[in-house]
Structures are given as C-alpha cells and as structure tokens.
Structure 1
Amino acid sequence: MKKTLLALTAVAAMTGSASAADLGARPYVKAPAPAPVANWTGFYIFGGGGGGLSNADQSIVDTATGTPLTITQRQGGSGWFGTVGAGYDWQFSGTWVAGVFGDAQFGSIRSTIQDPTIDITGNQKLETSWAAGIRLGWLAAPNVLTYVNGGYSGAHFGRTNFTDLAGVPVGLHLNGYDRHGWFIGGGVENSLNFFGISSPGWFMKTEYRSAFYNAKSEPIRFDIGDLPTINSVRANSWNQTISTSLVYRFNWTGPVVAKY
C-alpha cells in the first residue's frame, strides 16, 4: 500500500512540473499611457464681434443745483459691436488657468434719452469701450476652458441730437462723454480641433459680459454756441454683451503625453 501511494505522489509531481514547463513566459503588458494634457500658458490675441443691450436709469436735474426735476426712468436700447484684444494665461495645478487681458470694443449700441419737461427725445450711442481685467478658468477637457472674468472698464458715449416728439430737430444736443466702471462675465474657450478642424493654435471663445458705469450729470446744450440750458441729464449705464471671437495662441502645443 505504501509503495502504491509513493508511486502516485511521484507521478503527480512529474505531471505538475511538465505542465509548468509547457507554459510560456508571462506576456509583457505596457502600462497605460497617462491622460493627455495641454499647455495653456502663454500669450494670445483675439478678434470678433457680437450684440449688446443698454439700460440706463435717467432723470432730469437742474444744471446749476443738481435738484431733480423728474422722477428716475429706465431707458434701454440694443445694437452690435466688434472687439479686439490680447492677454496672457498661466496654467497651474493641472486643470486651472489664470490670466490677465485687455480688450477694446467699437460699434453702435443705442439707447434713448428723454426730457419730459420740454418733450424732447434723442438717440444716444455707445461708440467705444475698453476693459482690463483678470480671468480664472477650469479645463473641462484638455482643449476646452470654462472661465469667469472681471475688472475695470471705460466707455465713450457719442453726441445726442434732440428732436420733438414728431421727429423735428429742436436745436438742442447732449455732448459726448466718457464713463468709467467695472465689469463681470464668463465664457467658454475651445480649440477648433474640438469641431474636428485641424488648426493648431486657433481657438474660439464665446463670452457674456455685464459692464456697469457710474452716474453723472451732463447739461443739455444749444446747438448755437454750445451753451448749457437749465436742464441736465443724470444717468448711469448698464450694458450687457455677448460676443464670439477667434483666438490665436502663440505657444500652443496641443495635447501632449506627460512624462513620468
């Protein structure tokens, strides 16, 4: 009996050794590549256009004393504009991007100015504006940046010529003037490769912005002599815009494989 058990044990051991010898070496499995990243650090320029809405809280005040002559009324308008600008971004902590930028807008965003005490009305136009600010964004994908921004802004409002309610000129006007204030906004910027267009360095951004300008009084003037009348217009301004711009990034390398 003992001899039989020893014989069976020897056969089992030999069979196991042969099976192990028949197995090939374990195949080499390459480690998975790290997720692609992109380099957003560097300078960029952009240009585009869009549309905007203008709102203002207006009242008529005494030119000499500033005493209100009418209640405050909300006036509004709309129009279009073009924009150009430049900036610099820093990418940090992998998926965060911070930057500084400046831009300028030019176009025709119109609003209404009225003096109900003498029944005159006119169209005012926001002709140019500029902004300097910062932005902070998060990479939703290696080539897609979502961001918020804010900063300081200035605007120039053009001359307003008044007419009566029938549209007849009355010989009165409001000179053009400048206003300053601040803005907040946000948007999305993405590489054109996102749409399947092979164009290294080229991006598109769509942005919403609200700009708030301080209130100030401006006298209504006679066309002859440019002398002030006894009435002045006191108004602030709130402008909302949506724009789409084409962006070029000078140092864009596209998604690259991070090294260990």
Structure 2
Amino acid sequence: MKKIVLALTAVAAMTGSASAADLGARPYVKAPMAAPVANWTGFYIFGGGGGGLSNADQSVVDTATGTPLTITQRQGGSGWFGTVGLGYDWQFNSTWVAGVFADGQFGSIRATIQDPLLQITGSQKLETSWAAGVRLGWLVAPNVLSYVNGGYSGAHFGRTNFTDLAGVPVGAHLNGYNRNGWFVGGGVENSLNIFGIQSPGWFMKTEYRSAFYNAKTQDELLDGSNLPVGNSIRANSWNQTISTSLVYRFNWTGPVVAKY
C-alpha cells in the first residue's frame, strides 16, 4: 500500500510540472496613458487685418465761450486696418487661460465731421492706434480658445479738410490729434490643425473689439494760417473692429502627453 501511495504522489508531481511548462508566459499589460493635453503657456506673435466702423457724437460750440451752438448728432464711417502684436499666455488649469498682450493698428477708418451752421463737411481718418490689455479664455477644446479681453488704448486721428455741400474745398480744416481711451472685446483662437493642416505652433484668431476715446474740442482753422474760423467742433470717438490674424506660438510643439 505504501508503495502505491508513493507512486501516485510521484505521478501527480510530474503531471503538475508538465502542465506548468505547457502554459505560456504571463502577458505584459502596459500602464494606461492619459489623454493628450494641450499646453497654452508661452509667448506668441500675430499679424492680420480687418474692417471697422467709426461713430462720433458731435456738436458745434462757440470757440470763445464753449457754449453749444447745435444739438449733439451722431456721425459715422467705416474703413480697413492692419494689425501686429505679441503676448504671453498662462494656462492655470485644464480649461482656463489668462494672458497679457499689446498690439498696434494702422489703416484708414474714416468718420464724417460736420458743421451744420456753416454747412461744411469733412472726413476724419483714424490712422493709427495701439492697445495694451489682458485676456481671459476658456478652452472649448484642447486646441480651441474662446476669450474676452480689455485694456487701455490710444489713437491718432488725421487732419480733416472741409468742403461745402457740393464738395468744393472751403479753405478750412481741423488739425490731427491724439486721443486715449479704453477697449473691450473677445474672440476665438484655434490651431490650424483642426483644418487638417499639419502646422505645429500656427494658429488663427478672429476678434471683435470696441474702443472708446475721450472727447476732443477742436477749432475750425483757416488753411495756411491756422487762424480760427469762428466755431469749434466737440466730438468723441467710438470704433468697432473685426479682425482675423495668423498667430505663431513659440512654445507649441504639439500636444503634451502626461505619463504615469
């Protein structure tokens, strides 16, 4: 009996060893990877252009006393501009981005200037402007940023030459001047990769901006002598623009993959 038990034990041991040898090696399971996360932190530059509307609340006042001579009326105009700028963004969590920026604009956004008492009219041109501000954005997608912005702005308005209602020059003008103010706006910035273009670092942004400049009182001057003609015009300026710009982000080399 003892011999039988020993024999059975030996057979069972050999069978178990053979079964273990027949099993394949334990498969390797790779640790899971986090989804790609875009990183918006870094410097960028941009350039583009667009169109704008200009509006101004105007009234004619007495040059000597400043007494209003007409009721206030709103005049407007339109035009085009180009823009260049730079900025820095900081992505402070998975969906929010904050930044600072500065830019300059150049072009021709014209607005009508009128003196209904003398029945003369002219065109005043917003020639250059600049802005410095902050923006706050929310990531609609890892490579699409929707944002609002605001800040300080300055502008240069060119000389206005007056004509009569028939378009004949009357020999009077308003000098060009500088004005400061503020702006608010917003837009969308997205990687060009969403259009199937493989272009790491290149983005496109479309932005609306509304800028308000302080009122200015100007003497109507005689051409050649700069002597006052008799009245002055007081006007503020409100400019609305829409632009599209090409953006290059220096830090963007594609999505950053977080590893476990």
**Kept in 1: contact 2:57–2:75 (CA 8 A):** yes
Partner of 1:5: none
Map of 2:64 onto structure 1 = 64
Structure 2 CA distance for aligned equivalents of residues 173 and 189 of structure 1: 42
Which residue in the other structure is 1:9 paired with? Answer: none
Aligned residue for 1:8?
none
Supply the RMSD in Å over aligned alpha carbons: 1.9
Which segment drifts farther, 33-42 or 146-155? 33-42
> Is 117-126 or 33-42 further displaced after alignment?
33-42
**TM-score, normalised to structure 1's length?**
0.88
Q: Across the two proteins, how many residue pairs are aligned to each other? A: 242
State the 1:34 CA deviation: 1.5
Q: Which residue of 2 aligns with 1:128?
A: 128
- CA distance in structure 2 between the partners assigned to 1:152 and 1:169 by the alignment: 37
Q: How does 1:26-175 map to 2 (within 5 A)?
A: 30-175=30-175
Distance in 2 of aligned mates of 1:65 and 1:259 = 74
8 Å Cα contact 2:33-2:259 kept in structure 1: no
Q: Secondary structure at the match of 2:194?
A: helix
Task: Work out the CA distance in 2 between the residues paired with 1:78 and 1:190.
Answer: 28
1:211 is aligned to 211
Cα drift, residue 135 of structure 1: 0.4
| Structure 2 unaligned spans of 5+ | 1-19
Letter aligned with residue 70 of structure 2 = T
5+ residue gaps, structure 1, are 1-20
**Contact in 1 for aligned 2:54/2:111 (Cα 8 Å):** yes
Aligned-partner Cα distance in 1 for 2:210–2:127:
16
Q: What's the CA shift for 1:23?
A: 9.9
CA distance in 2, matches of 1:130, 1:172: 29
For residues 199-236 of structure 1, the C-alpha deviation after alignment (integer angstroms, 9 at most, x for no partner) is 11111000000000111201110002111222111001
TM-score, with structure 2 as normaliser: 0.88
- AA of the residue aligned to 2:227: L
Q: Residues 59 and 72 of structure 1 are in contact (CA less than 8 Å); yes or no, is this contact kept in structure 2?
A: yes
Distance 2:108 2:97 in 1: 33
The answer to whether the Cα contact below 8 Å between 2:57 and 2:237 also exists between their aligned partners in 1 is yes
